[in-house]
Amino acid sequence: MKITVSINIGGYSFNIDEDAYAELKRYLKSLEIHFAEEESSSEILSDIEARMAELFRARLAGYKQVITMEDVTEIIAVMGNPEDFSDNEGPTRKEKFVTPGAHRMYRDPDRRIIGGVCAGMGAYWDMEPWVIRGIFIVMAMAGGLGIPVYLILYAVLPEARTTAQKIEMKGDPVNIHNIKESVKKEVETVRKKMNL
């Protein structure tokens, strides 16, 4: 027995197994990242979705009602992964995405207690956020310096919103592979939260 999710692709509604849904979501996200710099990227994505809907419908002939992991894997193979259609214009995608040595401090919204400053510093130096929080608390109690320093950092540091920024925060090179990994992690976290 499996839980199914109801989705809308290209104007059609489908029931899809939840593992297949996670994979499909990861795939569409990877396309979105691939075409992000393209003019009319949303148009390309909706054309691709329309085609995928057509392919899914062709597989649902007869008694079959639910899209499975197998369907998703096969349709991804038909459509191709972003690395299969790297285009002939400009630098290859891989070069475009790598910003060598990019390692910036951000506020980390995922692990924040107040504003994500300590969590962000923890991610930057690869330290446990509570160690940094401890230092701030001590600084705040002994002379009160901790609070203004925290407020200044809060104002100065940007929040890590995009996947690329979250990777930069930890200092890994930003490339399509890392983004994929981190999207995968995100999907899994959401799934766990939803208790699927």
Partner 1 sequence: MDLENTKAQMRKGILEYCILSILSKNSCYASDIIRELKEAKVIVVEGTLYPLLTRQKNAGLLSYRWEESQQGPPRKYYELTDDGRTFLTDLDSSWDELVDSVNLIRKK
- Please list every residue from 65 through 104 that binds partner 1, using CB under 8 A: 77-82, 84-85, 87-88
Residue 131 token pair = 């160690």
Token pair 């919204």: residue: 109
- Burial tier of 158 (Cβ tally within 10 Å: 0-12, 13-18, 19+): exposed
Q: Does 37 bind partner 1 (CB under 8 A)?
A: no
Smaller CB separation from partner 1, 34 or 166: 34
Q: Does 29 bind partner 1 (CB under 8 A)?
A: no
What phi and psi, each to the nearest 5 degrees, are found at residue 140?
Answer: -70, -35
- Least distance CB 106 / partner 1 (angstroms): 31
Smaller CB separation from partner 1, 27 or 150: 27
Token pair 């290859």: residue: 92
Q: Does 51 bind partner 1 (CB under 8 A)?
A: yes
Nearest CA to 24 out of 52, 3, 2, 60 is that of 52
Distance between CA atoms of 107 and 127, rounded to whole angstroms?
A: 14
Smaller CB separation from partner 1, 58 or 194: 58
> What residues make contact with partner 1 under the rule CB under 8 A?
10-12, 31, 35, 38-40, 43-44, 47-48, 50-51, 53-54, 57, 77-82, 84-85, 87-88
